[in-house]
Structure 1
Amino acid sequence: MVSHGFVLPTRGVVLSADNSLEQTARVQSEVIGLARRAESLGFDGVWVGDSVLAKPRLEPLSTLAAVAGATESVTLGTAVYLPQLRHPVHVAHQTATVDQVSGGRLAIGVGVGVGAGAETEHEQLDIPYNRRGAVLDEGLEILQGLWGDEPVSVEGEFFDLSDADIGIRPSGSPPPIYVASATFDPRDGFPRQIRNRIADRADGWLPIGMSAEMYEGGITRAREIVDNAGRDASGFDAAYYQDVVIAETEAEAIDEAREFLNRYYPSWGELSDDDIRRRGAFGPPSVVAEHLTRYADAGVDQFVTRFTAADQREQLRRFADVAV
């Protein structure tokens, strides 16, 4: 059965507030309040994005800890988290804590970040941008080790640890790790570093911006990678991150998405209609419903949906009528 997650507007509340008091009010209504609303409407998860300096927003794991206390059953996910911007001991400590306080509901989508803003962000945090994938992979190895029962000792390229132990463990099974990807056709194969990340660490795949045909070929290849690594591919999750705007016409939906994306990502420049279409579904409810069916038929088990529109509450309601 297909599940649906909603990306909370943790950047939107920063962009839309004029001062800290208004920001506080928006956090309560548009993050905590919408998380509760999504759960009540039948969504299976709520997700948050990540950035420290490039795209200012609420810190993701702190946000999920707060959402954990306001909800009962939804998955609490990152879409996507950039672990390489932090020391892996801190990442292990925070993620294990969130998983504990939520009763084992954490899911972690991870990526490397792309673009001029991300490059500057890595440089300012003393992370070599051209080695960020290697930093991520070494950090994930440490993260999963610290979730385990034995102290961790590492003499790595980026991190050195001796008998490190955070003292707490995730609740039950370790949180699943989803490997994010974009900008390539997976039917032609995965880039070496992403392929290795899937083989060694991934419990699921979370791409964005591809056709249903590309997705179908990609999830098949991803599961082959897991199987060839000697791991059980039967439980490998097929997730998909998408942008959605529901409106009376496609033109109206695309215009609203363009305004949203221009504000979120001013460095991208003007986006064409086709640029926006590639990111998800835009138009009347029937168009969105057909899109969801097409991608579910291609193998998507879990949709992670961001509404690229100003009125998040209305989009959430309209999408629930179509999908949940």
Structure 2
Amino acid sequence: MPVMEPDLDRATLKAWARVVDEGPFSSLCWGERIAFDNPEALTLLGALAALTDRVRLVTTVVIPQLHDPVLLAKQLATGDVLSGGRLTVGLGVGGRHEDYRSVGADPATQTMRQMGDRVAVMKRVWAGEKVTDATLPVGPPPVQAGGPQLLVGTMGPKTVRSAAVWADGLAGTTLDLDVTKQDELFDVARDAWRAQGRGAPHLATSFWFAIGDGDDPREQVHRHLLRYMNWIPAEIVDAMAPGTGWAGTPDELRAVLEKFAAIGTDEIHLIPTSSDLDQVRRVAEVVEEFEQP
């Protein structure tokens, strides 16, 4: 979803949800920010559950430390019910202290340990345990037994290893689309999950994208980064923009997908840099061709 783009309205969000749901995609994803003019992530979850019927709904990512864990568990379980069990929850510690301060959360809790503690509470809620002094457990029970699939939003090996206890896989990000580095991180995850006696992790990564011809796609990514990375001096964003995210033609996107498929990537979450619906339609054409035997 183009949730970090300006001037979003009901019609735009509805159109994107419908096109993704009717297309060849596996998931519909969106992230959480507080001190930004994006839609609130959990409200949007309810809307997207109603607007779609097929794709999985993936939060990439929600930050547990910005929420009460019991209430967050209830909200996510409700989203799982409304979507008919199609929810996957990507969780991360976030990258902006201003988001923590905006809701009165302590930036000192921006740690994997603090996130893991909150995940433990949510899993108890989803298991039907009484975690509060109340007559009944907190519900509703999620459609998916034990709760939604959990992915850890990360780019680093240490984070991957610490999340192997509770996560079902990765919701990673690659800034420069370095396939070798991504493969190394996937190997860390495979080893960490194996060490915990668990099955193979779900391996997902993401990157910003702009599809088109000539210089327009790269300029589109650049504009998006300047807006989204508003905490970084513009001259630094200008310097990093030429090598951040992906910009190119349909054929070039197909080649990128092939490279990530070759290292065992289960899923790629493409992050929009425009709310123009033509962007997702052009990607859909590439994905349809890519998935044909």
Contact 1:52 1:59 in 2 (8 A): yes
**What does residue 9 of structure 1 align with?**
2
CA RMSD of superposed structures (Å) = 1.9
- SS of structure 2 residue aligned to 1:181: coil
For residue 123 of structure 1, report the CA deviation from its aligned partner: 2.6
Deviations 1:155-204 (A, max 9, x none): xxxxxx5578213211033211110113x4xxxxx22x54212x211111
For residue 254 of structure 1, report the CA deviation from its aligned partner: 1.1
- Structure 1 window deviating more from structure 2 (164-173 vs 69-78): it is 164-173
Quick one: distance in 2 between partners of 1:124 and 1:61? Answer: 17
Deviations 1:110-145 (A, max 9, x none): 11111xxx2122134332213322332211110111
Contact 2:77 2:139 in 1 (8 A): no
TM-score (norm 2): 0.89
Q: Which of the numbers 197, 200, 218 marks the counterpart of 2:165? A: 200
Quick one: distance in 1 between partners of 2:84 and 2:286? Answer: 30
AA partner of residue 105 (structure 2) = I
TM-score (norm 1): 0.81
Contact 2:65 2:118 in 1 (8 A): yes
Contact 1:207 1:239 in 2 (8 A): yes
For residue 264 of structure 1, report the CA deviation from its aligned partner: 2.1
Distance of aligned partners of 1:124 and 1:276 in 2 relative to their CA distance in 1, 3 Å threshold: same
Give the number of equivalent residue pairs: 281
AA partner of residue 226 (structure 2) = N
Distance of aligned partners of 1:39 and 1:273 in 2 relative to their CA distance in 1, 3 Å threshold: farther
Contact 2:80 2:144 in 1 (8 A): no
Distance of aligned partners of 1:278 and 1:213 in 2 relative to their CA distance in 1, 3 Å threshold: farther
Distance of aligned partners of 1:244 and 1:71 in 2 relative to their CA distance in 1, 3 Å threshold: same
Distance of aligned partners of 1:273 and 1:286 in 2 relative to their CA distance in 1, 3 Å threshold: farther
AA partner of residue 110 (structure 2) = R
Quick one: distance in 2 between partners of 1:303 and 1:95? Answer: 23
**What does residue 139 of structure 1 align with?**
118
**What does residue 33 of structure 1 align with?**
15
Distance of aligned partners of 1:48 and 1:310 in 2 relative to their CA distance in 1, 3 Å threshold: closer
| Counterpart mapping for 1:97-108 below 5 A | 97-108=78-89
Q: Which runs of 5+ in 1 are unaligned?
A: 1-7, 17-22, 153-160, 185-189
For residue 246 of structure 1, report the CA deviation from its aligned partner: 0.9
Contact 2:128 2:139 in 1 (8 A): no
Identity %: 25
Q: Which of the numbers 165, 175, 188 marks the counterpart of 2:137? A: 165
Quick one: distance in 2 between partners of 1:99 and 1:240? Answer: 23
Contact 1:35 1:71 in 2 (8 A): yes
Deviations 1:25-73 (A, max 9, x none): x22x2212211111112222111110122x2311112212111112111
- Find out whether 1:304 has 2:269 as its counterpart: yes
**What does residue 251 of structure 2 align with?**
286
Distance of aligned partners of 1:11 and 1:306 in 2 relative to their CA distance in 1, 3 Å threshold: same
**What does residue 196 of structure 2 align with?**
229
Q: Which runs of 5+ in 2 are unaligned?
A: 289-293
**What does residue 291 of structure 2 align with?**
none
- Find out whether 1:123 has 2:89 as its counterpart: no
